[in-house]
Structure 1
């Protein structure tokens, strides 16, 4: 049985996908929309959006940095702050940076969050490459 999650939000997919025959744009609903929004925040460099310069986080500032405990904690705090300000539909439970198994120069950003309106826990693992722009 399908549930109606439209109260969680509905928005365009990112990047936008257009259907020429139907003359529509692909839309995302509910928790899929929230997950996509989190990924947009994580993939946006601070200052990249001219009309919203505070959107995103300073990800390129961490490229080529040694991944010390101090650096990992600072990155976690930056991500927490960005999600706190730009994804109000969630409560963050935890943000952790963990080295990717078997891959040099890559860490995984583990985000554990709860959707406020449904009290549903979710998680997201986002790859962050320290040696690529």
Structure 2
């Protein structure tokens, strides 16, 4: 079976291995997974040469995680995959919000590779509260004590 359609590309972020000449490469299904990871974590306009590339999930960071927001999130993902990942056929998008209070939504993308008819799933962790790993249980007293 010819898997050339699945492609070959740089790993992202680029990785340079001193034992091999050049940059680390990904091919076939691994290249598709890396492409999905990049697509879902990129905002439109972020790439100068491909301004329409991306998913814009960052627009939803401060929204309430209600049914409407979940539907909008799934629609953004579906549209981005439709326009920017021609090697796969999207089967479903499932949002796992059981860790919502921790600021995490797990996005499961179930897809089929068109040329091989192989079925895969990809889980993308979407962090709604990026950079909030502070210990909020500590009280700091900044006022001097009166004796």
Q: Same fold (TM over 0.5)?
A: yes
Report the Cα offset of residue 84 of structure 1. 0.6
Residue aligning to 1:36:
34
Find the partner of 2:70 among 44, 69, 72: 72
Residue aligning to 2:138:
none
Residue aligning to 1:110:
108
Residue aligning to 1:83:
81
Q: For each residue in 1:85-120, what CA deviation from the matched residue of structure 2 results, as whole angstroms up to 9, or x when unmatched?
A: 110000000012111448521101110000000000
- Number of residue pairs matched? 131
RMSD: 1.8
Residue aligning to 1:45:
43
Gapped regions of structure 1 (runs ≥ 5)? none
Structure with the greater alpha carbon radius of gyration:
2
Show the 5 A alignment for 1:2-17.
5-17=3-15
Q: Distance in 2 between matches of 1:61 and 1:101?
A: 20
Q: Distance in 2 between matches of 1:102 and 1:44?
A: 22
Find the partner of 1:57 among 45, 52, 55: 55
Q: For each residue in 1:53-89, what CA deviation from the matched residue of structure 2 results, as whole angstroms up to 9, or x when unmatched?
A: 1111111110121100110001100000001111000
> 3-state SS of the aligned residue for 2:107?
strand
Residue aligning to 2:126:
128
Task: Judge conservation of contact 2:3–2:115 (CA < 8 Å) in 1.
Answer: no
Deviates more, 1:19-28 or 1:91-100: 19-28
Task: Judge conservation of contact 1:46–1:59 (CA < 8 Å) in 2.
Answer: no
TM-score normalised by the chain length of structure 2:
0.82
